[in-house]
Chain A
């Protein structure tokens, strides 16, 4: 299923954070959205996942229109995101965090939960083992019983990734997953993202670290001042004159 963004415009008062952006995210790919600070990357994420109502434009996934839906309905359609600032359920343990992320996987309704039906207990056991699998996948099995807010920064970001994976996305939007991480941690995240893609989950990445972006992406989309200035494979984009200008500035702009 293709995530397609057409003419996406977001205005805050008189300022256009995004001015008519269009791009497609090919299914099964790792696509990166890059650009200098304030280029509109996170705004695009917020608009796609329903946290922000676009001023204009159409966002659709696999043909179904997403614009106008609430975040929880968008998640139900398989579009799941992480946040730029670390975002976990702070006072829950790592395993409970993931278990909470599995919300959509459960079916139990109020009445069956109150009646403590067998189907509910079986479902609970299934969810628990699934949560264990995901915790192990991101490499936090040894931390499963620890409270999320007590973990070091890098591991909290992994918890966040695990929570998002628990929601069973078919496309995962990662907002700077490697920001503030050490070199080793960045490599771990890079490997995880690749494995996630190999399992058939499309990945849309916002990232500042060029090493991560260029090493990982199939397609790179460059945003600047709320508009797409380049799009293509990493090597092509890297040598694109507009991109170089956006990142490094020109001699004239510098002076």
Chain B
């Protein structure tokens, strides 16, 4: 039953460009994929270890800038720039983890917020490197041999591969003793320590993987929009990720993806359905209703 559903879902995902011809709709789906990776990444921390990062946009932005700068300034190809973005964001995650996860809880939240603030300021003010608020235009589209992935259809498959990879990384970690250590720390930290789980080590590990994944999303975003500006560090991105994870179902594998699709499509659907005055109001009402009636999120409520 689960297997059939999985195969069916994979088939749908693989054929999306064939039944969505409208490029605008396809654009929405691609953005949903990028946000899906971000939501998976945040969920690893928030859903499994229970630590809330409110500076996740920083890792996303670091990935986007790393990839954009390497391809623009050093004329790297996209393919080495992508893993470099993952590594750069992962290193940032390690530093923040080492710094903040000794304290955990509210302190971690505060450190991540300030970290995002600092990185955003650097991106605005370090004109020589980042071109400041003007941003970096002309980020090249990825190329595969002589084939450019600048069409939406080709890029869709690239994002799909990134999302599938992220999902698989989460799944394998969660179903191993490493994921059990994450959950143990969320559930009862003293008990986890008393049976030999090294709390700090596993929280830092979760932060590194999570940040690296956000960096992957950042790189995919940069080469899709072909433009990176300090806007990638906006707090709104982090809030959107949190909404996706919480509404979809934190601590589940599918929840963040469901949340990402829903909350990427919803604003666009509302834009089409109502005038701008009502958009945000309707968005807010839907969010409140969701949290009120499905406090544990969509996936845990529907599939348990």
Chain A residues with a Cβ under 8 A of chain B: 49, 51, 70-73, 75-76, 80-83, 87-92, 96, 99-104, 106, 108, 110, 113-114, 116, 120, 124, 127, 160, 163-164, 166-167
Contact = CB atoms under 8 A, between A and B. Distances in A.
B276 to A, nearest CB: 42
Contact of B178 (A72, A76, A110, A160): A110
Contact of A167 (B175, B195, B209): B195
A116 B172 contact: yes
Contacts of A75: 193-196
A70 B102 CA distance: 13
Interface string B165-200: 000010011011110110110011011111111110
Contacts of A92: 183, 187
A108 B176 contact: yes
B205 interface: yes
Contact of B195 (A91, A124, A163): A163
Interface string B197-221: 1110000010001000000000000
6 contacts: A72-B199, A103-B180, A103-B192, A113-B172, A114-B169, A127-B177
B19 to A, nearest CB: 32
B176 A103 contact: no
A81 to B, nearest CB: 5
Contact of A87 (B191, B198, B209): B191
Contacts of B187: 89-92
A51 B195 CA distance: 13
Interface of B: 169, 172-173, 175-178, 180-181, 183-184, 187-188, 190-199, 205, 209
Contacts of A101: 195
B225 to A, nearest CB: 30
A120 B199 CA distance: 22
Given A88-B191, A108-B178, A120-B176, A100 B184 contact: yes
A171 to B, nearest CB: 13
B contact face: mostly helix, strand, loop, or mixed: helix
B193 A99 contact: no
B202 to A, nearest CB: 10
Given A92-B183, A92-B187, A108 B177 contact: yes
A155 to B, nearest CB: 16
A68 to B, nearest CB: 15
B26 to A, nearest CB: 31
Contacts of A167: 194-196
Given A75-B193, A114-B169, A116-B172, A90 B181 contact: no
Contacts of B184: 89, 100, 103
Contact of B191 (A102, A108, A114, A163): A163
A99 B180 contact: yes
A140 B155 CA distance: 52
A104 B197 CA distance: 8
A104 B192 CA distance: 11
A113 B184 CA distance: 18
A80 B194 contact: yes
B214 to A, nearest CB: 17
Contacts of B183: 89, 92, 100
A104 B178 contact: no
A112 to B, nearest CB: 9
Contacts of B194: 49, 51, 71, 75, 80-83, 164, 167
A172 to B, nearest CB: 11
Contact of A166 (B172, B181, B192, B195): B195
A231 B135 CA distance: 75
Contacts of B192: 89, 100, 103
A90 B181 CA distance: 14
A115 to B, nearest CB: 8
A124 B180 CA distance: 12
Contacts of A76: 196
Nearest to B181: A103
Nearest to A51: B190
A167 B183 CA distance: 17
A75 B198 CA distance: 10
B300 to A, nearest CB: 11
Nearest to A124: B176
Contacts of A71: 190, 193-194
A108 B172 CA distance: 12
B184 to A, nearest CB: 5
A217 to B, nearest CB: 23
A71 B194 CA distance: 6
A103 B191 contact: no
Q: What are the nearest 3 A-B pairs in CB distance?
A: A75-B196, A106-B177, A113-B176
Nearest to A89: B187
A106 B198 CA distance: 14
A250 B180 CA distance: 53
A100 B195 contact: yes
Which of B176, B188, B191, B195 counts the most A-chain CB atoms under 10 A from its CB? Answer: B195
Nearest to B171: A116
Contacts of B176: 106, 108, 113, 120, 124
A103 B188 contact: no
